[in-house]
């Protein structure tokens, strides 16, 4: 970095939270965005879900959930 040039911590300098939601969930995104403190990023991914919840449908979702996970890299700082 050149002398005299500085950068702030970015929009999500404190933390990044990732959620995997069922496709039909309608409330958590707005709730989490509202509740997140300044400097905390909230990220979402949606997993498909059949309209009818059964043990068989839930068991079938297990393998598919891996494709919808949200991976948030941690940022290291030398400050």
> Which residues are within 8 A (CB) of 61 and not within 5 positions of it... i.e. 6 or more apart?
47, 48, 49
Which pLDDT score, from 0 to 100, does residue 77 have? 38
CA-only gyration radius of the chain, Å: 18
Q: Please, which pLDDT band fits residue 36 given cuts at 50, 70 and 90? A: very high
Domain ranges within the chain, ordered by starting residue: 15-68
Can you tell me the distance from the alpha carbon of 43 to that of 78, in angstroms, rounded to the nearest whole number? Answer: 25
Which pLDDT score, from 0 to 100, does residue 69 have? 63
Which segments within 1-79 are labelled E, that is strand? 15-22, 40-47
- pLDDT of 70 > 90? The answer is no
DSSP type of residue 21:
E
Which pLDDT score, from 0 to 100, does residue 34 have? 92
């Amino acid at each position: 970095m050149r002398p005299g040039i500085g950068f702030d911590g970015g929009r999500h300098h404190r933390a990044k939270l990732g959620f995997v939601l069922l496709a039909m969930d309608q409330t958590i995104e707005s709730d989490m965005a509202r509740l997140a403190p300044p400097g905390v990023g909230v990220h979402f991914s949606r997993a498909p879900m059949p309209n009818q919840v059964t043990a068989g449908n839930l068991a079938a979702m297990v393998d598919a959930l891996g494709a919808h996970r949200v991976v948030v890299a941690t940022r290291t700082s030398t400050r």
